[in-house]
């Protein structure tokens, strides 16, 4: 049994993202026929005015970013509800986890180190009863899954015993305006803790890549 933490990876090449402000400016100035005012330094203030002052966010829909999410199935079920996006997700129908072991995502409230855990492993003494129950449930799910495969079930049949904590990978592509909406929603206090766990660091990455577009979004951080 393999235990890992959630993570994200921006797949869109940085050199593409670095040209987005110029594209947004070119599209935005079409509305006002002010292309003659484009200079090597005009994109940043122009986009800042559109997004932050005028709230003219439709112009940033011309650019999109793709991200790979490594999360559990519960989080992925929430991700795919964002309809203005494209998704490619790891399939439990066709992926066979019997050979390399099932991988589960460690929730942020469980204090276990990532790694491979074999039968009879001695768990850290600091774990609570609830944390030990989660661990034993994941271990039992893997054991049952493998036994069902050995009994002739296909992966799409045996997956019925796998829990929400099962690791999945999702590549998600959407435009910058939708990313702004997602970050406001999924980094808020009302968001699921595991969603905030991946979205807050991802927002920080986006703020580094495109500060003009994302710098005004402030996530909720528990004290």
What are the catalytic residues? 186
Write the DSSP symbol of residue 105.
E
Write the DSSP symbol of residue 126.
T
How far apart are the C-alpha atoms of 148 and 128, rounded to whole Å? Answer: 30
Residue 82: other Cβ atoms inside 10 A: 16
**Do 213 and 205 contact (CB within 8 A), yes or no?**
no
**Do 2 and 113 contact (CB within 8 A), yes or no?**
no
Residue 32: other Cβ atoms inside 10 A: 8
Residue 206: other Cβ atoms inside 10 A: 23
18 burial (CB, 10 Å; 0-12 / 13-18 / 19+) is exposed
Q: Structure tokens of 34? A: 């002010």
How far apart are the C-alpha atoms of 184 and 191, rounded to whole Å? Answer: 10
């Amino acid at each position: 049994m393999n235990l890992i933490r959630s993570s994200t990876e921006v797949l869109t090449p940085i050199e593409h993202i670095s040209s987005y402000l110029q594209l947004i400016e070119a599209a935005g100035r079409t509305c006002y026929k002010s292309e003659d005012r484009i200079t090597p330094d005009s994109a940043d203030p122009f986009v800042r005015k559109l997004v932050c002052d005028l709230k003219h966010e439709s112009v940033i829909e011309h650019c999109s970013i793709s991200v790979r999410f490594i999360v559990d199935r519960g989080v992925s079920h929430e991700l795919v509800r964002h309809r203005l996006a494209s998704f490619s997700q790891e399939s439990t129908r066709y992926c066979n986890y019997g050979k390399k072991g099932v991988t589960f995502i460690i929730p942020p409230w469980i204090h276990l180190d990532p790694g491979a855990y074999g039968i009879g492993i001695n768990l850290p003494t600091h774990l609570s009863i609830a944390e030990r129950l989660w661990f034993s449930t994941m271990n039992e799910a893997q054991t049952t899954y493998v036994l069902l495969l050995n009994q002739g079930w296909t992966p799409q049949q045996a997956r019925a015993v796998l829990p929400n904590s099962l690791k999945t990978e999702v590549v998600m592509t959407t435009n910058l305006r939708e990313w702004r909406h997602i970050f406001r929603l999924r980094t808020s206090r009302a968001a699921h803790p595991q969603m905030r766990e991946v979205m807050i660091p991802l927002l920080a990455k986006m703020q580094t890549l495109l500060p003009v577009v994302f710098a005004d979004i402030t996530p909720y951080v528990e004290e």
